[in-house]
Amino acid sequence: MTDVPPTDSAGRGLAELAAEIGKGRLPPVHLWHPAHCGNSDMRIAADGTWFHEGSPIGRKELVKLFSTILRRETDGSFVLVTPGEKLDILIEDAPFVAVEVTSAGAGAERRLIFRLNTDDLVACGREHPLRVETAADGTPRPYLHVRGAIGNGLEALVNRAVFYELADLALAEKPEAPGLWSDGAFFPFAA
């Protein structure tokens, strides 16, 4: 049996995915401090769907564009910001959803690259940690840090199918203390 290198749903290997990370440079929203202009009448639902004035935004390109000017403020609120204006946006859970993971290696040599609902790619590691909370109903709520300051930046909720995939990998490696390594950092699954 030959080892088949891991690929994502588009057939891209880990090296190709890693090369894609950071290609679409983000605007420097951390440098923009215009006056607050009001509410954007936009919200991001818990499932990652973007809405404007109550209607879903159907054009993925528009969602991707808006996601590049999203910022979390120091008070925990979220805004869409440009050099000239700042508008509030309501986020029900996390602004992004991790919809796919590509894993290569095992144990401390593993590397995990996540694809978000905006098609952004994030390599899990010290700069982009994975954390697992426990919801009120006792179910795990996994989050991946995407950008901004850790603890007050933007995160992606890891969808259920992707988390089950991660849990299978973790249980196969170390069932007594489930968690995974990625880019030299260990991320425990216990909340």
Domain ranges of the chain: 29-91, 95-188
Distance CA 42, CA 63 (A): 11
Domain 95-188 has CATH 2.30.270.10: yes
Q: What pLDDT does residue 173 have?
A: 87
**pLDDT at residue 177 in the model:** 84
| pLDDT of the residue at 166 | 96
Q: Tokens 């390109």 label which residue?
A: 61
In order of 19, 155, 181, the CA distances from 125 in angstroms are 16, 14, 8
Would you state the pLDDT for residue 1?
43
pLDDT at residue 80 in the model: 97
* Cα–Cα distance for residue pair 127/145, rounded to 1 Å: 8
User: Residue 113 has what pLDDT?
Assistant: 97
Find the angle CA(52)-CA(83)-CA(71) to the nearest 5 degrees: 55
Q: Is the model's pTM score more than 0.95?
A: no
CB 64 within 8 A of CB 106: no
> Could you tell me which of 47, 43, 49, 53 has the C-alpha nearest to residue 78?
43
CATH superfamily for 29-91 is duf1285 like domain (3.10.540.10)
Written as tens digits, the pLDDT of the chain (191 aa) is 445 556 555 565 555 545 555 566 788 998 999 999 999 999 999 999 999 999 999 999 999 999 999 999 999 999 999 999 999 999 999 999 999 999 999 999 999 999 999 999 999 999 999 999 998 898 899 999 999 998 889 999 999 999 999 999 999 988 888 899 999 999 998 75
Residue 2: what pLDDT? 46
